[in-house]
């Protein structure tokens, strides 16, 4: 597994194109293109400006010899029809096209959840709504040569403690409903920690559907996006995660989504902190 870092790790510190060579120098081996965070910070979203932005990222990645492992698309709940949610949904084709232009193989999206009793009929309706939505994006994926990786999420409010996608069986049922080679899964270790899942069993159960991962830690009380081992015994069981990845036959990147771990790091210590992140990943993967 290549060790990858999301470009959102320094969103407000420097342009992503300037971060890429520093990631290479620190020892990272691949990149995660966080479309949503970076798109929301673009001062000019004209076609010309976006094209120049993507070309700068592509040139920086090529110069650093870092491949694009995965990306994160817009954030929204597909069942929420507020203008803000609808606007994020409407960005999906542009995000897919951007990934295609860069050569990103898999773009991660969250499944949607509709509050309700979570009985059989309700779950069936939520599953169908997700299947219909992701199916609607497949023509864009086929044109761009980009797959969609649906991410496990976590329950975050009493009104809907069993959000769709918080359990591996939800994701596997969605794979069965879609049955398309350009649809796979993304596993977020921090989300699974909040749900108190047996990660070895859960990750292994995803098998060949697993195309991307988000590596992050927390103590089970919040989606903190910290480096592995930051929470000690209260955090993610990393030996279980790595064992599950190997049992699933996962061939993608060991990709960090740990922006919170770097927000307070002074500029003069950023490169040291990045190298520390690489050392942690190498240790967890048995590459020391």
Supply the pLDDT for residue 45.
83
Gap between the Cα atoms of 168 and 279, Å rounded: 30
Supply the pLDDT for residue 116.
85
SS3 content of the chain, % helix, strand, coil (to 5): 50, 15, 35
Gap between the Cα atoms of 96 and 107, Å rounded: 7
Domain 3-284, architecture per CATH:
Alpha-Beta Barrel (3.20)
Supply the pLDDT for residue 39.
83
Nearest residue to 105 (alpha-carbon basis) of 274, 251, 248: 251
pLDDT in tens, 108-157: 999 999 888 889 999 999 999 999 999 999 999 999 999 999 999 998 75
Supply the pLDDT for residue 42.
84
Across the beta sheet with 68-72, what order do the strands follow? 210-214, 183-188, 147-151, 106-109, 68-72, 30-34, 3-6, 254-256
Cβ proximity of 168 and 202 under 8 Å: yes
Residues in the chain where the model's pLDDT stays below 50: none
Domain regions of the chain by residue span: 3-284
What DSSP designation does 12 have?
Answer: T
pTM assigned to the model: 0.96
Supply the pLDDT for residue 117.
85
């Amino acid at each position: 597994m290549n060790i990858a870092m999301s470009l959102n790790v320094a969103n407000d510190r420097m342009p992503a194109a300037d971060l890429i060579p520093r990631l290479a120098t620190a020892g990272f081996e691949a990149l995660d293109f966080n479309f949503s965070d970076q798109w929301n910070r673009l001062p000019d979203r004209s076609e010309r400006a976006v094209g120049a932005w993507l070309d700068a990222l592509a040139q920086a990645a090529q110069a650093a010899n870092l491949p694009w492992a995965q990306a994160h698309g817009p954030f929204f709940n597909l069942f929420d029809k507020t203008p803000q949610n609808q606007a994020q949904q409407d960005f999906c084709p542009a995000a897919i096209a951007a990934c295609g232009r860069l050569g990103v193989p898999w773009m991660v999206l969250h499944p949607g959840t509709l509050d309700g009793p979570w009985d059989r009929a309700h779950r069936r309706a939520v599953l169908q709504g997700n299947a219909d939505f992701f199916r609607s994006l497949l023509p864009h994926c086929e044109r761009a040569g980009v797959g969609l990786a649906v991410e496990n999420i976590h329950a975050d409010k009493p009104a809907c403690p069993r959000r769709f996608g918080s359990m591996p069986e939800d994701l596997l049922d969605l794979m069965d409903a879609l049955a398309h080679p350009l649809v796979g899964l993304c596993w977020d270790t921090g989300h699974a920690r909040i749900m108190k899942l047996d990660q070895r069993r859960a990750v292994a159960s995803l098998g060949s559907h697993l195309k991307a991962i988000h590596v992050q830690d927390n103590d089970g009380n919040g989606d903190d996006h910290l480096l592995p081992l930051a929470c000690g015994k209260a955090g993610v069981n990393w030996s279980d995660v790595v064992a599950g990845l190997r049992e699933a036959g996962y061939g993608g990147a060991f990709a960090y989504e740990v922006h919170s771990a770097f927000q307070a790091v002074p500029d003069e210590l950023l490169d040291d902190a990045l190298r520390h992140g690489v050392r942690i990943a190498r240790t967890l993967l048995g590459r020391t």
